[in-house]
Amino acid sequence: MKLRLLAAAFAVPLLTAGTASAGGFHVHIGGGAHWGGHWGGGYHWGGGSYRAPHVHWHTGGSVVVRGGIWVGGGYYDPYYYPTYTTYATPPPACECGPSAYYPPVYPAPSTYAAAVAQPEPMPTFGVGLFAGGTSTATTPDGSDVGLFANLRISRGLLVQGEMGKTSIDNGARVDRRFEGALVWEIGAENNWAPYILGGLGVETADTSDVSATQNFGELGAGIRWAVSRGFHLTADIRAGSRETMTDNGNTRTAPGTLAAVAPPPADSGQSEDFTRFRLGAMIYF
C-alpha cells in the first residue's frame, strides 16, 4: 500500500479594495492523504463567503496537488473538477429471522432411519438320539433309548416325534413305541431354555409268551442347552400312564412268573403308571 501526502494548500491574503469589498481576509488550509485512494478536504477561516469543506476520493497512482487563492471573496482552484467514483455496494446484512422482505427459510426435514436389530432366525428342523431309564410301580427298572425329531412351528413351539425302545428286567420285556408331542420352549432365543411338553402315543409290549398293544400319554419338563445354533443338548423327566388295548397271549399270574413284567390284560381295567428320564443330543439343519 502506498502512502502519499498531498501538499497543503495555502492562501496569501491580498490587501486590496476589491478584496475588502468582496468579504475581507481569507485563509484556506487544506491537506490530503492517499492510502490506496485519496482523501482530501480543507478548512476555511476568514470572513466573507467561502466554499464548504469537501471530500474527494480518487483512485489510481497519480499525485494530486491541491491549492487555491482567494480573490475578493471568490475562490480560484486551478485543479478543482467534479469527481465521480463508483464503488461496489456491500451485500445487505443477513436476516436470519422472519421479515416482510425475506421470508423465513427453514432446513428441509431430514429422515433418520435407525437400524433395528432383527432377531436371528431360530433353527427349524433337527434330528437326534436319546438315552435314559424308566420304571413303573409294578415292574423292575429298565433302560430307554431311541430317536427323536423336532420341527419348529413358531419361535417357542415345536412338534416332536419319537421312536423308542424300552427294555425291562434285562430284556424280559421289550416295549417299542411311537409318540407325538408338543414342546414349548420358554425363552427359546436363549442358549439355555426350559421347556414343558405333553405327548400321546402307542406301543407294543412283548414278553416270551405275551404280546400286547398299549396306548399311553405323558407330561414332562426339561431344559435345552444350545451349544451352537446347530447342536442342542436336552434333559427331561416324564411321567405318564398306559393301558392295554389288545393282547395276543395269556398272561401268567402265578407268583414268580412273568406277571412281574407283563402288561395288564386288556379287560382288567388296570393301567401302568411310569416315569422315565432321558438325555438327548440333536443336530439342526
Question: CA-based Rg of the chain, rounded to a whole angstrom?
Answer: 58
Per-residue pLDDT reduced to its tens digit, 26-73: 455 555 554 444 445 544 444 444 444 444 444 444 444 455 444 444
* Higher local confidence (pLDDT), 171 or 62: 171
Residue with the three cell numbers 488550509: 29
**pLDDT at res. 232:** 97
Neighbour tally for 268: CB within 10 Å: 12
**pLDDT at res. 280:** 98
Whether residue 248 has pLDDT greater than 60: yes
- The mean pLDDT of 212-218, rounded to a whole number, is 96
Most confident of 10-24, 71-85, 188-202, 264-278: 188-202
Where are the chain's structural domains?
3-76, 125-284
CATH number of 125-284: 2.40.160.20
* Higher local confidence (pLDDT), 260 or 104: 260
**pLDDT at res. 145:** 97
**pLDDT at res. 197:** 98
Per-residue pLDDT reduced to its tens digit, 266-282: 888 889 999 999 999 99
Which of 123, 258, 96 has its CA nearest to residue 185? 123
Neighbour tally for 211: CB within 10 Å: 14
* Higher local confidence (pLDDT), 157 or 111: 157
**pLDDT at res. 153:** 95
Share of the chain above pLDDT 90, in %: 44
Whether residue 131 has pLDDT greater than 90: yes
Q: For the whole model, what pTM was predicted?
A: 0.57
